[in-house]
A and B are shown apart, each in its own frame.
Chain A
Amino acid sequence: MNKTWNNKAWFMVLPVLLLVAFNAVIPLMTVVNYSVQETFGNNLFFFEGVKWFREVLHSDRFHDSLLRQFFFTGTILAIEIPLGVIIALAMPRQGFWVPVCLVLMALPLLVPWNVVGAMWNIFALPDIGLMGYSINALGIDFNFTRQPASAWFTVIIMDVWHWTSLVVLLAYAGLRSIPDAYYQAARIDSASRWAVFRYIQLPKMKRVLTIAVLLRFMDSFMIYTEPFVLTGGGPGNTTTILSIDLVKAALGEFNLGIAAAMSIIYFLMTLLVCWVFYSAMMRGEDE
């Protein structure tokens, strides 16, 4: 049988291509161009080869902010994923309280990022903020504008407050998709609570949890506004994570070459992580 081939549908892809070209490809090309040159402004550029890449890769400042970034991302993942699953398990499965819980959970997600930063900034102030004042009243010396540990504690708890809900909602959706028959079978076999979780709920949540980890990893890896508003990377440089360091280099010091090289390395890291998660998800789908 002769098949009619009609490739006109490819033209439908054109708008997307144009959009991606303007908001991703062209800016990215520009960053690549900047990363191999030195500029003193006024669109005057001098070719420098891979000098900036070598400099960034050997700079302690970059290593430190990368380490801080991994510490931040690792910590919030270690807290948010288990906490989100626990809350999702504790949420009612039917009845009046379901929508109430869902709306309550969705609330933090609706707050704009800079507002979250400003809120927690005030909340954690040692003299007038409720949290900062209470902690100090307990006899613990807490001042996030001066002590690195307090600053880290505030940044992490802020992110946990803002984003655990996302994990909860995803995990809850995963739980809701488990048919009752599974639970009935578990009851017949008199399975323990742990066995139900380990062999029914966790495998069924695997896919959504992969998505949750991916989303939280990417978001936390690119997070800027909240920690910037809260601590501005301080005290000193102690909470300067990658994105804050990058903006400092690009806009604070106007080191376009170094900032561009940093951006590309940063981009390659996110690209690799995306690919790994994507492959893991595709593999999970096959199984």
Chain B
Amino acid sequence: MDLTWMAWTWQTASFFAAIALMIAGMAVWEWARPGGAPRHGVLGLDTTRGDRLFVSLLSSAYIHLGWLALMTGPLWWATLISFVFAIAVFRWV
């Protein structure tokens, strides 16, 4: 199978692999410690663990874009902020 048209780079491949790992990790987590049932969070929404992962990923995309638009420092800072934000989302949303 010729995949040259998809123009893979190791950077993007690891990005998607990380997301796939996260989803797999969620499955393992749910299997090891069930608790994914919806819960009422600070946003007033009922969210499951999957919802929280989605919110974390979406907000991390916006945090990175915001960093690129407004800041000049290395992008890793945005990744760090996203990580802290994701923990907060999983804890309180």
Residues of A within 8 A of B (CB): 26, 29-30, 32-34, 36-37, 39, 43, 45, 47, 49-50, 53-54, 57-58, 265, 268, 271-272, 275, 279, 282-283, 286
Closest 4 CB pairs of A and B: A57-B69, A33-B7, A45-B7, A43-B4
A271, B75: Cα distance in complex, Å: 23
Chain A facing B: main interface SS? helix
Q: Are the C-beta atoms of A36 and B11 separated by less than 8 Å?
A: yes
Contact of B12 among A29, A54, A271, A279 (CB under 8 A): A29
A-facing mask of B41-76, CB < 8 A → 1, else 0?
001111000000011001001100100110000010
Q: Are the C-beta atoms of A54 and B58 separated by less than 8 Å?
A: no
- In chain B, positions 6-41 with a C-beta closer than 8 Å to chain A are 6-9, 11-12, 15-16
* 7 pairs from A and B in contact (CB 8 Å cutoff): A26-B6, A33-B6, A45-B7, A268-B58, A271-B58, A283-B44, A286-B46
A182, B75: Cα distance in complex, Å: 58
The residue on A at minimum CB distance from B11 is: A36
A23, B24: Cα distance in complex, Å: 22
Q: B43: which A residues are within 8 A, CB to CB? A: 279
Report the minimal beta-carbon distance from B60 to chain A, rounded to whole angstroms.
11
Report the minimal beta-carbon distance from B41 to chain A, rounded to whole angstroms.
11
The residue on B at minimum CB distance from A25 is: B16
Q: A49-B11, A54-B68, A275-B58 are in contact. List 6 more A-B contacts (CB 8 A).
A: A26-B6, A32-B15, A33-B9, A33-B12, A37-B7, A43-B5
Q: A286: which B residues are within 8 A, CB to CB? A: 46
A6, B4: Cα distance in complex, Å: 41
A49, B68: Cα distance in complex, Å: 12
A32, B15: Cα distance in complex, Å: 10
Q: B69: which A residues are within 8 A, CB to CB? A: 54, 57-58
A208, B65: Cα distance in complex, Å: 33
Chain B facing A: main interface SS? helix
Q: Are the C-beta atoms of A283 and B45 separated by less than 8 Å?
A: yes
The interface size bin for chain B is: 20 to 34
Residues of B within 8 A of A (CB): 4-9, 11-12, 15-16, 43-46, 54-55, 58, 61-62, 65, 68-69, 75
A34, B75: Cα distance in complex, Å: 19
Report the minimal beta-carbon distance from A286 to chain B, rounded to whole angstroms.
7
The residue on A at minimum CB distance from B54 is: A275
Q: B4: which A residues are within 8 A, CB to CB? A: 43
Q: Are the C-beta atoms of B68 and A279 separated by less than 8 Å?
A: no
Q: Are the C-beta atoms of B68 and A50 separated by less than 8 Å?
A: yes
Q: Are the C-beta atoms of A39 and B68 separated by less than 8 Å?
A: no
Q: B12: which A residues are within 8 A, CB to CB? A: 29, 32-33, 36
Q: Known interface pairs A57-B68, A268-B62, A282-B46. Does A50 touch B9 (Cβ–Cβ under 8 Å)?
A: no
Q: A271: which B residues are within 8 A, CB to CB? A: 58
Q: Known interface pairs A282-B46, A283-B45. Does A33 touch B8 (Cβ–Cβ under 8 Å)?
A: yes
